[in-house]
Structure 1
Amino acid sequence: MEPVFLGAVTILGLLEQAYFSLQVIYARRKYSVSPPSITGPPEFNRVYRAQANCSEYFPLFITALWTSGVFFNEGLSSMCGVLYLYGRLQYFWGYASSPQGRLDPLYFCAKVLWTLIGCSTIGVFQSFFKIYLHMDLLQITATALGFY
């Protein structure tokens, strides 16, 4: 199986990161904040921090997305990825408007990211047990719960 959906979400994420970076460039021009300066009027500072915060979390997101998609479920992971990217866009726009505008999207993104991390963990453990210990944890769990 080719991880097409994971690739598509990754490309969307890269485009979103590029959009955030461009917004900082536009804000630099609008508020006359020349590089390498990273401070200016509050309006610039919010755009700059929103972009920086999104960039800081991007490696965590991509790692969790791919690990969850490869080891757990590509469809569910890709859907979570799209939700995360939507949440990050809302976060960026909210933060650019006001510091309080970032909070609800931030909490949403954290929940989605933790879901991806949880699915990654379950998927890796399941694969490890299946490959190296010849035990199917899902089947064992389903049997223990009376589903088999």
Structure 2
Amino acid sequence: METSKVIVEHIFLLVIVTLFSVLQNAFFAVKLEREGKGGNATAFERVSCAVRNCMDAYPTFLAVMWCAGLCVSQGPAAFAGILYLVVRQKYFVGYMGQTSQSTPGFMFGKRPIFFLILMCMVGILNYLLGHFYGRCYKAQLETLTSVVAALLLIP
């Protein structure tokens, strides 16, 4: 029982962000359904396109967030995940208005994904260094990613 508690502590933040992302997807689906029943073809087409765009990037987001959280540190990975979900919401709402309103959300959304990809690559490199050369920099990486994650907020 104690082992499962330790495992859950190492992934708890990632689980919470994943749950929020699932709830956000449910919101998108409800919005799409409502627009479909509304009879406005252009509004439905916009919402449908926004949902498709969000769903296209969703598997990548989940994969890199979990990889970064498991390989380096769950705190910065979860922070970047929450930031990505906020940006994705901004993109979705902007797309429902006019497609040009979604551009800021789209552009800013690349930053958390890029950060998570870098975390994954650095985590994998750290694992390989530890495995082949006996050098592990996990503590330093956790500190570095915590500091760099805060920089994601700079516009």
What is the TM-score with the length of structure 2 in the denominator? Answer: 0.80
1:26 counterpart (34, 44, 62): 34
1:66-120 deviations in Å (ceiling 9; x for gaps): 0000111110000000000000000000001101011000011111111111111
1:110 aligns to 2:118 (yes or no): no
Larger CA Rg, structure 1 vs 2: 1
**Residue matched to 2:119:** 119
Percentage of identical aligned residues: 24
Segments of 5+ residues of structure 1 without an aligned counterpart are: 33-40, 140-148
The match for 2:132 is 132
Q: Which residue of 1 aligns with 2:94?
A: 94
| Counterpart contact for 2:94–2:101, Cα < 8 Å | yes
Task: Please tell me whether residue 54 in structure 1 is matched to residue 62 in structure 2.
Answer: no
Q: Which residue of 2 aligns with 1:13?
A: 21
- Name 2:149's counterpart in structure 1: none
Number of aligned pairs?
Answer: 131
Following the alignment from structure 2 to structure 1, what is the Cα–Cα distance between the partners of residues 138 and 67? 18
**1:105-146 deviation per Cα after TM superposition (whole angstroms, max 9, x unaligned):** 00111111111111111011111221233233579xxxxxxx
Gaps of 5+ in 2: 1-5, 140-155
Moved over 4 A (4+): none
Q: 1:6 and 1:137 mapped to 2: Cα distance?
A: 22
